[in-house]
Chains A and B, each alone.
Chain A
């Protein structure tokens, strides 16, 4: 025990994110479609997805399993096997088109300009090589430097992500690291080439809350230092509320709601987003019965006609003329608020939310 025992806990407050100016988009996805032909038919994993992320901003993509959030992000890094996946549309990273980029160009692009952090650090670190050698490999693939220099860089990165004793740790194997430390090592590996775009796919889902909090802070700090654009994929709306600037809600391969976090989580306009908020038990106040979305997410082999959410939507009766079952709504501004869009036919969704949904939120 050291002098840390002062009787007062060290606390950190996650400062509210200052709204970065609406700069030019670094990542721009336009009408992205990802399809996988299978023996059972065509899996339409992503259908017409468009979004953009400027530098220094964080976009959170939320959705349930099978909503296309991971598939679309893997497409951004060109990680799909072209023999299996059909990708159309456009993905521009720093002005470069990623769709149909040659394998050789992709090699330079991945891990250089854009990097990814995966959910499970246990399976994305190679158990046979030391943590340091894996970070060095990533650095040397993009920089013509000596092994010694690369090792210094690896040690420096491990230190920056908060691993104690980096000089000793650099020669250890992944199994000698705890879960939180492995995730830190993964982050060090992803950031070793100062990527301008960082995609984090459920980076804290496998971690405990106290460790999760540290990793979230780390990603936010590094983003500030490196000035990167961050795409954060998660299903935890609490995490989104604390770390993201913008949010994209996905359902059955499409975006159903998109806009600034405060708006989308504070006063969402899409019934699916309402359902998500009503499914999360609160940490304060008298526990209310949960009001879950009925049914299950659709199979991507047979996405429902019209609005893909209509089979589970309790508001579809309010829309005239079977629009919900026949007409796919567009992702458009639904209220006077121009900074946000939603994909729904329901009339005056802001009023419905305020009078009917808000009172029963947990």
Chain B
């Protein structure tokens, strides 16, 4: 992107040598009222309970897990739409976890969010020009005279017709609306974009278009991504590193290939084994799917020790008493399990 704009005066402090983004023991416990007799007793929904995560500049990290595992809450914590109940969120070494709204403003510019639902994340009464322009104005990115030109430039970057700046969101299709959301995020020239299920509401052919767009932005602009999705194929396609979450915690984290080929946590193995594989029509033998017992426990009252133990086939007494730490089991691959080991044979059958 070529832009004849001066960078906004940055109020972002940084500690030399610190990673771009670091989550350190971040917790988010929501207050919830109990039912009936328990109404007086306050309960806490432990949506995110001690997440550690590091993102380097230009890196894409995927966050996967099933509904209720806390991945969207993590996205809202990173972007500080929520204030964590414990832990530190360090952006370039500076803790922004409890920063005041005024001080946070310059950080907000550098950390942008793309939402899942392109229908509800755009104001239907604003034109595309206003939607993207507001981001420019809020952060003082361009002079008023240059605003329209910059909006059009951004629309072009995301593959929309720049002449359509005065149209309303309802005049666009789902895929195009998602592009508007991406243009809005790019307006602030962020260093990191948190994308919360950015393609899951889109049709397959449109999904691939948006993925390619994100991929080219990543390569050309060097933006780091925290990419949240439940589709393991999409995450594998887009991310350098992947973290698997279960019930508010990261249970395994590592380089993409290691995680998909040699997953060490039983939950990661079960998750990968459950993905339906189109390869069966090309003669790939059907894989052995690991059957998980029961449902995900309530985050109000999670199991003691390892949170996965109630559904785990490896669980022993130690799992109930001792919380497994997320430790390195293979180069750069960290696993939170007392009995972590790679599967005997690859879970994902090799395509011939």
State how many residues of chain A have any CB contact under 8 Å with chain B.
61
Which of chain A's residues has its CB closest to B347's CB?
A283
A25 at the interface (CB under 8 A from B): no
Check B233 for interface membership: any CB of A closer than 8 A.
yes
Given contacts A4-B293, A242-B276, contact A284 B349 (CB under 8 A): yes
Instruction: Tell me if A11 is interfacial: C-beta within 8 Å of chain B.
Output: yes
Complex interface bits, B275-318 against A, C-beta within 8 A gives 1, otherwise 0: 11111111000111111110110000000000001101111100
- In the complex formed, the residue of B with least CB distance to A11 is B288
Q: Is the interface of A mostly helix, strand, loop or mixed?
A: loop
Residues of A within 8 A of B260 (CB): 283-284
CB-defined contacts of A89 to chain B, threshold 8 Å: none
The segment from A122-130, A136-144, A204-212 that touches chain B is: A204-212
Among A1, A241, A279, the residue within 8 A (CB) of B204 is A279
For the complex with contacts A10-B291, A290-B212, 11 further pairs of A-B residues with Cβ separation under 8 Å are: A4-B293, A5-B313, A13-B288, A14-B289, A209-B271, A241-B276, A242-B276, A265-B278, A279-B207, A284-B279, A293-B208
B-side interface size class: 35 or more
Is the pair A280, B233 in contact by a Cβ cutoff of 8 Å? Answer: yes
A12 and B289 alpha carbons, distance in the complex (Å): 5
8 contacts between A and B (CB under 8 A): A1-B309, A9-B266, A9-B291, A209-B66, A210-B66, A211-B66, A238-B276, A265-B278
Q: Which of B223-276 touch A at CB < 8 Å?
A: 230, 232-234, 236-237, 260, 266, 269-276
**B316 to A: closest C-beta gap in Å:** 7
Interface residues of A in 33-49 (CB under 8 A from B): none
Interchain CA distance A15-B173 in the complex, whole Å: 40
Mark contacts of B4-24 with chain A using CB atoms, 8 A cut-off: 1 yes-contact digit, 0 otherwise.
000000000000000000000
CB neighbours (8 Å) of A5 from chain B are 312-316
Name B239's closest neighbour in chain A (CB-CB): A287
CB distance from A9 to the nearest CB of B (A): 4
User: Which single residue of chain B is at the shortest CB-CB distance from A289?
Assistant: B212
Chain B residue at minimum C-beta to C-beta distance from A238: B276
B209 at the interface (CB under 8 A from A): yes
- Given A242-B277, A266-B282, A290-B212, A64-B204 contact (CB < 8 Å): yes
Pair A178/B271 contact, Cβ less than 8 Å: no
* A8, B237: Cα distance in complex, Å: 30
A279 to chain B, nearest CB (A): 4
The smallest beta-carbon distance between A280 and chain B, in angstroms, is 7
Let me know if B351 is at the binding interface, CB within 8 A: yes
The interface residues of chain B lying within 8 Å CB-to-CB of A65 are 174, 203
Q: Say yes or no: B274 contacts A210, CB within 8 Å.
A: yes
Across the interface, do A235 and B271 meet the contact criterion of CB distance under 8 Å?
A: no
Contact A13 B203 (CB under 8 A): no
Contacts of B230 in A (CB 8 A): 208-209
Cβ of A236 under 8 Å from chain B: yes
- Per-residue interface assignment for chain A, residues 12 to 32, with 1 indicating a CB less than 8 Å from any chain B CB and 0 otherwise: 111110000000000000000
Distance, CA A216 to CA B275, complexed state (A): 12
Q: Does A339 sit within 8 A of B, measured CB to CB?
A: no
Q: How far is the CA of A9 from the CA of B274 in the complex (A)?
A: 13
**Which 3 residue pairs spanning A and B have beta carbons closest together?**
A292-B208, A238-B276, A281-B237
Closest chain A residue to B275 by CB distance? A209
Is B274 within 8 A of A209, CB to CB? yes
Which residues from A are CB-within-8-Å of B208? 278-280, 290-293
- In residues 274-327 of chain A, which contact B (Cβ within 8 Å)? 275-285, 287, 289-294, 296-297
Please give me the residue from chain B that is nearest to A67 by CB atom: B203
> Chain B residues near A13 (CB, 8 Å)?
286-289
| Contact between A280 and B277, CB atoms less than 8 A apart | no
The reply to whether B289 and A179 form a contact with Cβ atoms under 8 Å apart is no
A65 to B310 Cα, complex, angstroms: 39
Mask of B60-71 contacts with A, CB within 8 angstroms, 1/0: 000000110000
Q: Is B175 an interface residue (CB 8 A)?
A: yes
Is there an interface contact between A283 and B233, defined as CB atoms closer than 8 Å? yes
Task: Answer whether residue B320 sits at the interface, using C-beta atoms and an 8 A cutoff.
Answer: yes
Per the bound structure, the CA–CA distance linking A131 and B202 in Å amounts to 32
A15, B286: Cα distance in complex, Å:
7
Nearest Cβ distance between residue B213 and chain A, in whole angstroms? 10
Residue B350 CB within 8 A of the other chain = yes
Residue of A nearest to B293 (CB): A4
Known interface pairs A242-B280, A287-B237; A296-B232 also in contact (CB < 8 Å): no
Docked Cα-Cα span, A178 to B275, in Å, equals: 20
Does chain A have a CB within 8 A of B120? no
Within 8 Å CB of B173, what residues of A? 296
Nearest opposing residue in chain A for B272, CB measure: A283
A239-257 residues at the B interface, CB under 8 angstroms: 239-242
Q: Which residues of B contact A79 (CB under 8 A)?
A: none
For residue B311, give the distance in angstroms from its CB to the closest CB of chain A: 9
Q: A102 at the A/B interface (Cβ < 8 Å)? A: no
Chain B residue nearest in CB terms to A287: B237
CA A241 – CA B209 in complex, angstroms?
A: 23
Query: When A64-B205, A266-B281, A266-B282 are in contact, do A208 and B66 touch as well, CB less than 8 Å?
Result: yes
In the complex, the answer to whether A281 meets B209 with C-beta atoms within 8 Å is no
Q: Report the minimal beta-carbon distance from B303 to chain A, rounded to whole angstroms.
A: 10
Q: Which residues of B contact A239 (CB under 8 A)?
A: 276
CA of A209 to CA of B232, assembled, Å:
9
Specify which chain B residues have a CB less than 8 angstroms from the CB of A282 in the assembled complex: 233, 236-237, 351
A192 to B234, CA, bound (A): 38
B113 CB within 8 Å of chain A: no
> A237 near B: Cβ within 8 Å?
yes
| Min distance, Cβ B315 to any Cβ of chain A, angstroms | 5
Contact yes or no, B314 A7, CB < 8 A: yes
Residues of the A chain whose Cβ atoms lie less than 8 Å from the Cβ of B188: none
B248 CB to nearest chain A CB (Å): 16
Q: Taking CB as reference atom, which chain B residue is nearest A297?
A: B203
Of B173, B237, B310, chain A has the most CB atoms within 10 Å of the CB of B237
Indicate if B192 sits at the interface (CB-CB under 8 A): no
Question: Which residue, of B175, B208, B288, B349, has the highest number of chain A Cβ atoms within 10 A?
Answer: B208
